[in-house]
Structure 1
Amino acid sequence: MLELSDVDGFYGRSRALQSVSLSVREGEFLTVLGRNGVGKTTLLRTILGLMSRCTGSIRLDGAEINSLPTHARARAGLGYVPQGRGILPNFTVRENLLLGTFAAEKPARTIPDHIFELFPILKEFLGRRGGNLSGGQQQQLAIARALLSEPKILLLDEPTEGIQPNIVEQIEDVLIDLNRKHGLAVILVEQNIKFARRASHRFAILNRGSVALSDDIGALSDDLIQSHLVV
């Protein structure tokens, strides 16, 4: 479904992503791992067209998207939940959610019920400002907003970071359910190894902007974690 071939991503003249080749099949859950500063967020930003410059090939459903602007990539089927959530604090929950629909192929004026089945708290807080939600509630809002774009692939940047444990478990369950029952492909950047092992079909480890290793999740041994992830 998504294929990167020899992709470089640049911040100005600095090459932050180097010769990355990676693929995600339809309905697959891929977790991207690595120490801080190795290029995990840069990888997602490169896929989305948010870098200063990008070379190489990025194909979605067989179509080249590397020359497309970010909004066109969203329309093509890429949903994104950034690190820090990106909620508009002065917009209500309803307004934040409706923003997500504008990236859908057919923008909606209403919020479908299945969003509130996934995240019931959002229905209760529809009129509350996004900035008045807890961190966990904001993360649920950010994921719901991305889902309203009707993505083929959902990209998430450390969605469990700084979230209270009971909400982390809810978020994990929702993402696994979306992948297993609804076939939504997922690229997850995460430091939570337990979550990665539970949710993923495959993993990729980044180091210095390159893919150091990619394999089925069963191959993510404690020795690999010690070598590539432990600080």
Structure 2
Amino acid sequence: MLSLRAVNHYYGTHHSLWNVDLELLPGECTCVTGLPGMGKTTLLNCIAGHLPVESGSILWHDAGKPARDLQGVSAEARMALGISYVPEDRRIFSRLTVEENLQLAMMAATGQPQAIPADIFDLFPELYGLRQRRGAELEEESLHQLSLARALVTRPRLLILDEPTRGIGHNMMQTLCAVIVRLNRELGLTVLLVEQRLSFIRHVADRFCLLHRGRNVAQGSVAQLDDKLLAHWMAP
């Protein structure tokens, strides 16, 4: 699906990612974790095409085709390949309705107007009754659902989520957990997320990548993300 090889990134003279290697396998859920300020969101933005990579490669694999290096490929073109990104701030258009937000996302991905797929409202039934509500009128949990729905209407092959549980309540967290598990394990969608809640990580993820000061210091199956490893790298 996607391979990162020795990826480096700088903010000016600040070296933010150091030779990061990461392998995303089709149909798996991978979690990037670590303390705040360790480069997690920077990594997601490099993969999504919102930040440039100084060196290294980000390779997109299509079955039966040569690997494609995404260096120089715009965020819009990456979306067309099947990479959909939900940032932490969600970036909903507050003056547009739920329906308009979803339709705009489909237009950006396909270049033409399309009907909203019915299965989107199967995943988020609450949004169906809010179709004509503007983003500015939505409660926080409905905004969260809309941000996920907007990413999914583009029919991505890789769904990227930045801190999806931040600022949400227990009920929404359970809904989110169920949606990710269904998308990943039942429908085969590849998922990459940044997350710090260990209980959530262990429930949804197959593999993990632990960043510390921009370096990938540990990775493997979620079963290997044990208390000893966490105490060593994530003690405040």
Counterpart of 2:187 (choices 182, 188, 203) is: 182
Aligned residue number for residue 77 of structure 1: 82
Q: Provide the C-alpha distance between the structure 2 equivalents of 1:198 and 1:67, rounded to a whole number of angstroms.
A: 35
Task: Answer whether contact 2:7 2:53 (CA < 8 A) is retained.
Answer: no
Deviation at 1:172, TM superposition (A): 0.9
Would you say 1:66 and 2:71 are equivalent positions? yes
Aligned residue number for residue 109 of structure 2: 104
Would you say 1:197 and 2:202 are equivalent positions? yes
Q: Provide the C-alpha distance between the structure 1 equivalents of 2:3 and 2:214, rounded to a whole number of angstroms.
A: 17
Q: Provide the C-alpha distance between the structure 1 equivalents of 2:112 and 2:35, rounded to a whole number of angstroms.
A: 38
Stretch moving more, 173-182 or 46-55: 46-55
Residues matched between the structures, number: 231
TM-superposition CA deviations, 1:181-223 (whole Å, max 9, x none): 1100000100111010111111010001110100111111112
Would you say 1:230 and 2:226 are equivalent positions? no
1:154 alignment partner, SS class? strand
Amino acid aligned to 1:156 = L
Q: TM-score, with normalisation over the residues of structure 1?
A: 0.96
Where in structure 1 are there 5+ consecutive unaligned residues? Answer: none
Q: CA RMSD in A?
A: 1.3
Aligned residue number for residue 158 of structure 1: 163
1:100 alignment partner, SS class? helix
Amino acid aligned to 1:54 = E
Aligned residue number for residue 175 of structure 2: 170
Amino acid aligned to 2:114 = R
Q: Provide the C-alpha distance between the structure 2 equivalents of 1:149 and 1:70, rounded to a whole number of angstroms.
A: 14
Would you say 1:210 and 2:178 are equivalent positions? no
Task: Answer whether contact 2:96 2:134 (CA < 8 A) is retained.
Answer: yes
- C-alpha distance 54-149 of structure 1, shift in aligned 2 (>3 A): farther
Q: TM-score, with normalisation over the residues of structure 2?
A: 0.94
Task: Answer whether contact 1:54 1:66 (CA < 8 A) is retained.
Answer: no
Task: Answer whether contact 2:107 2:114 (CA < 8 A) is retained.
Answer: no
Amino acid aligned to 1:56 = G
Amino acid aligned to 1:170 = T
Deviation at 1:106, TM superposition (A): 6.7
Task: Answer whether contact 1:98 1:109 (CA < 8 A) is retained.
Answer: yes
Aligned residue number for residue 38 of structure 1: 38
